[in-house]
Structure 1
Amino acid sequence: MSGINFAAYSTLSGVKPAEQAKSPIKPESDGNAVSDGFSAFKQSMEAAEQTAMQTAVSGADPHAMVEALANAELVLDAAVTIRDKVVEAYQELLRMPV
């Protein structure tokens, strides 16, 4: 599973609280972390789909297919967890007294 690449996790794990306090956040790319995460999610899903199709059609390496599908499953689980946290935060905001 050396091919695991989910930009949101790498972005979050790269920033330490001490570094955050010292300097303002400077994006490394033109987009923001959310759009980078979405594009990484899309790329991972497309790669898994392409690998599965190649394995089914041409009998390519089944190990590569299993690895790509495991990576896609990991990315999907992370996306679902992030979505659940966002929904939970929104619900907490709705419960706040005005």
Structure 2
Amino acid sequence: MDIRPFNAAQSYASARPATQPDPDHAASGLRATFTDFAATLRQGEQIAQSAMVGQADPHALVQALAQTELAVETAVIVRNKVVEAYQEILRMPV
């Protein structure tokens, strides 16, 4: 088998587009996550308002509040991890 640097570089160059991230895909995934989070909060708020006037089932209210609490806790955990990563980057020597 004949392996030359030029052939290796050429093979690497042809394979490189497959390894590069797709910014559109990452942005759409993050956008969908934020949209789902906002929808969960809106749904919980609507059910809470309906429960205040007696139009919603108490079981549905408890379930919506639990979902909202889980979504907010997840967002806080993600925020904390992002802040920790940022602080770690700031501590790196230049």
- Corresponding position of 1:84: 80
Mapped pair 1:37 → 2:33:
yes
Offset from partner CA, 1:34-88 (integer Å, 9 cap, x none): 2111111100000000000001113420100000000000010000000000000
2:48 to 21, 33, 52: 52
Q: Percent identity?
A: 46
What corresponds to 2:91 in structure 1? Answer: 95
Aligned to 2:9: none
Q: Which one has more relative contact order, counting CA pairs under 8 Å at least 6 apart? A: 1
Query: Is the partner of 2:83 in helix, strand or coil?
Result: helix
- Once residues 78 and 36 of structure 1 are traced to their aligned partners in structure 2, the CA distance between those partners, rounded to angstroms, is 15
**Whose helix fraction is larger, Structure 1's or Structure 2's?**
2
Give the number of the structure whose alpha-carbon radius of gyration is greater. 2
TM-score (norm 2): 0.70
Question: Aligned-pair RMSD on alpha carbons?
Answer: 2.3
